[in-house]
Amino acid sequence: MRNDIFTRIQLGRRGALGILAASAAALALPRAAQALTVAEARSLIDRAVADVNAVIDSGASEASMLASFEKIFVKYADVPTIARSSLGPAARGANPAELAAYSKAFQGYISRKYGRRFREFIGGRIEVVDARPLKTYFEVVSVAHLQGEAPFDLRWYVSDRSGRNLFFNIIIEGVNMLSSERAEIGAMLDANKGSIPALTAALQKI
């Protein structure tokens, strides 16, 4: 009799665990259903490009344009991921305060750098033309039309791994932003003897 009761208790516990597991799986389903799609990736870059084109056409001063480009970068880019990737292995040894300060400085640095690049598009426009899945993310293809120059590609890599739909890389005329910045930030870190605070201070001056 006792064995029979014990068996029933075990089965009851297993049943409860099964219900909990099924409930957890059910709760996970909406996240899968809401996963980033090609249309959403393209929509994100459509909005980003529209904002960039508006700044290009604004006729504002360089300082004003660069400030606007930083806002666009913060709005549409996965800044923490780009900053950590650019810092490379050194990011693993940084304390949270150092990493936060570096990320903030990197945000300004990369916005100014690519903002100046986008300022070269004054009188032209950027147009989104395609989007497709690529590995674990999406590639959105746009074309830059500049006055007196042949059109060229800008490719945006978009992911939702951060919990939001954001781009984490740009390829401009075949130049990979992440690869380029890893090399440049790495060289700057070496020049500052591996000090992340010194690197942060250097980025703030560029």
What residues pair up with 175 in beta bridges, in sequence order? 172
Whether residue 178 sits in one domain with residue 160: yes
Domain housing 52: 38-204
Whether residue 43 sits in one domain with residue 29: no
pLDDT of amino acid 79: 92
Kindly report the CATH number assigned to the domain that includes residue 53: 3.10.450.710
Whether residue 136 sits in one domain with residue 54: yes
pLDDT of amino acid 189: 96
Q: What is the pLDDT of residues 44-63, one digit of tens each?
A: 999 999 999 999 999 899 99
pLDDT of amino acid 33: 34
- Whether 180 has a pLDDT exceeding 50, the answer reads yes
Number of structural domains (the chain) is: 2
Residue 173 has φ and ψ, to the nearest 5°, of 50, 40
CB atoms near residue 100 (< 10 Å): 14
Q: What is the pLDDT of residues 4-54, one digit of tens each?
A: 443 443 444 444 433 333 333 333 323 333 488 999 999 999 999 999 999
CA angle 173/107/117 to nearest 5° reads 30
pLDDT of amino acid 201: 97
User: Is 44:165 a contact under the CB 8 Å cutoff?
Assistant: yes
pLDDT of amino acid 157: 97
Whether residue 90 sits in one domain with residue 53: yes
pLDDT of amino acid 93: 86
- Mean pLDDT over 109-129 rounds to 91
**Strand, helix or coil for residue 129:** strand
Name the average pLDDT for the chain. Answer: 84
Among candidate residues 92, 69, 88, 119, the one with its CA nearest the CA of residue 181:
88
Whether residue 197 sits in one domain with residue 116: yes
